[in-house]
A and B are shown apart, each in its own frame.
Chain A
């Protein structure tokens, strides 16, 4: 097997853990893997941004009508050069198989999760165009069960600037499924947190009490 990113041949290293614990196979070479930078938990308590216990973006939301809407949150990786390249190839070149790159990270963190895992959905038109949902696919690769509770309304944030993003009107409505008390929202990239706040608002209105969030990357 070759590295998914640089196509260099991978050396297979057998291990007892691999045999007995059904670990997911490594799909990158050591060099490509070492390019990604994990965030530690000392930063923002909602999005893991390095620095204060509450980053500027999250502070804004807490002060503008979204206080305590989200219990806690975590992002796994920083948006560095290696991550930008991976993200581009995965989401925009649509290299679906790259979802496996972070499968074991997500599996590890979600395997004992008791809340309902709710991925941020794509707009149906966008889904048809992209041919896959990049958030769902990350969870599928990790073997994690999830439920869709939300539907995306018309607009996307992609082309918007910071002010426009933060000021957007409702982005999601509920899809009619019963909303459980505990929810873990999952998204690929956390930029200003707008998407997550809108999703959390819709879920709270539907009856969710304890909402946490997980994003793969903190920009």
Chain B
């Protein structure tokens, strides 16, 4: 495969940022292998992210083309696309590389993992979508290795997409180890350039905008919010990146009802890989917590819980419903022990603080919902302050509970919902966790 074909196959790229010479591009165009298209269609649709709402496609007088031009705000962070921006696409089919490959993963699967793994392989074989519905800590990544290995040998192009960069960065080394002779690209905002044709693409969902009919099979990790009600452009990105009728494997611990209904083939795993049941949340009243914290007082039950964890030297997370409340509580918590820090989504030291909690330099962390998923710390304890607040829906509470008891050495721990009145979503989360544990036994 020539370098340009390897780079461009399945992608949509801004011509100005195209890393190959004009002459090479012209040659490919003449041979009908590549095409140059306008960034925004006449109908006002962005050719990269398929946005077409009038609130996001903005008309203005453009000094580059000296007429009224439109640009897309939805994918602007990836380099602005306007009517006069030219995009390069590859249109020729690519030959498949079929043959035996090296498989570097030697772990073993539990019975349930094995069953799910085989069911996913069968779905890919049939070309149908699949939902892997597995609780937090079920060992989801390992389940994917065998189906991906089979797909690789058939010459299929594989994509694993997840909403957050942290997840992609965590997956990358495990994939390199499992598939040592495969070309693996890891894509996220400002990721370094990677050469050649990526056989396995690990990417944030956002970066999928840059692909078009590229993948023979797509794995969508943390698909709980799917279909992404908050950001429909991400759902479009997933659908746009797959080849026609290519199967999508959705992976989630808390799939939405819509997703469960829309995907016909399911595998479910309600037991953690170490076999112990999921920690079940308990409730404790924390009346008027907002006002008390506002008056610079940590409510007594919460203070007692924190002191208990400090004494037992167990790391803990405190989930707060709003950034303002975190800001108010942070100095009060620091007064209890200086090794309790606070983070929120805009905190530049976020990763570092989590790392310090993991290695024991910090004892506790007050956080907004950003740490609800993806974080694994041995012997972690969690408390939700204001679990009745509307920002904590049932799925979020299940994810939060799923942070606890993940290691085989310490499969239990506290999940405490502090509340100002029990809310429906708390019961819903608790019932769901109980039902998982019940099904796991049978």
Contacts and interface: CB of A to CB of B under 8 A. Distances in A.
A2 B53 CA distance: 12
B71 A130 contact: no
A128 interface: yes
A128 B71 CA distance: 16
B64 A97 contact: no
A96 B2 CA distance: 39
A112 B368 CA distance: 46
Contacts of B55: 1-2
Interface string B47-88: 000000001001011111000010101001100101010000
Contacts of A93: 76-77, 80
Contacts of A97: 58, 60, 73
A117 B80 CA distance: 30
A127 B63 contact: yes
Nearest to B61: A132
B82 A131 contact: yes
A94 interface: yes
A132 B63 CA distance: 6
Contacts of A133: 63
Interface in A70-105: 89, 93-97
A177 interface: no
Interface string A121-138: 000000111111100010
A93 to B, nearest CB: 5
B71 A94 contact: yes
A131 B64 contact: yes
Contacts of A128: 63-64
Contacts of B76: 89, 93-95
Nearest to A4: B73
A132 B64 CA distance: 8
Nearest to A2: B55
A131 B70 CA distance: 11
Interface in A20-78: none
A122 to B, nearest CB: 9
A130 B69 CA distance: 13
A137 B73 CA distance: 17
A95 B63 contact: no
Contact of A131 (B58, B63, B73, B77): B63
B62 A132 contact: yes
A96 B73 CA distance: 10
B73 A95 contact: yes
Q: Which of B55, B58, B63, B76 has the most CB of A within 10 A?
A: B63
B312 to A, nearest CB: 38
Contacts of A129: 64
A129 B61 CA distance: 14
A127 B66 CA distance: 11
B80 A94 contact: yes
Contacts of A130: 63
A39 B333 CA distance: 34
Interface string B333-352: 00000000000000000000
Q: Which of A93, A95, A131, A137 has the most CB of B within 10 A?
A: A131
Contacts of A94: 71, 76, 80
A193 B64 CA distance: 29
Given A1-B55, A2-B55, A131-B82, A96 B64 contact: no
A1 B63 CA distance: 28
Contacts of B71: 94, 96
Interface in A184-212: none
Contacts of A1: 55
A95 B82 CA distance: 11
Contacts of A131: 62-64, 69, 82, 84
B229 to A, nearest CB: 13
A91 B95 CA distance: 43
B124 to A, nearest CB: 35
Contact of A96 (B58, B77, B84): B58
Contacts of A96: 58, 60, 71
A95 B74 CA distance: 11
A93 B84 CA distance: 15
A130 B82 CA distance: 12
A128 B63 CA distance: 5
B393 to A, nearest CB: 17
A85 B64 CA distance: 24
B400 to A, nearest CB: 23
Nearest to A127: B63
Contacts of B77: 93
Nearest to B60: A96
Contacts of B58: 96-97
Nearest to A35: B346
A20 to B, nearest CB: 27
Interface string A1-17: 11000000000000000
A2 B62 CA distance: 24
Nearest to B16: A129
A130 B63 CA distance: 8
A96 B63 CA distance: 12
A133 B61 CA distance: 10
Nearest to A94: B80
A48 B121 CA distance: 66
A14 to B, nearest CB: 20
For the complex of A and B, the 8 pairs showing the least CB-CB separation, nearest first, are A131-B64, A96-B60, A94-B80, A131-B62, A127-B63, A97-B58, A131-B63, A93-B76
Given A95-B80, A127-B63, A131-B62, 19 more contacts: A89-B76, A93-B80, A94-B71, A94-B80, A95-B73, A96-B58, A96-B60, A96-B71, A97-B60, A97-B73, A128-B64, A129-B64, A130-B63, A131-B63, A131-B64, A131-B82, A131-B84, A132-B63, A137-B60
23 contacts: A2-B55, A89-B76, A93-B76, A93-B77, A94-B71, A95-B73, A95-B76, A95-B80, A96-B58, A96-B71, A97-B60, A97-B73, A127-B63, A128-B64, A129-B64, A131-B62, A131-B63, A131-B69, A131-B82, A132-B60, A132-B63, A133-B63, A137-B60
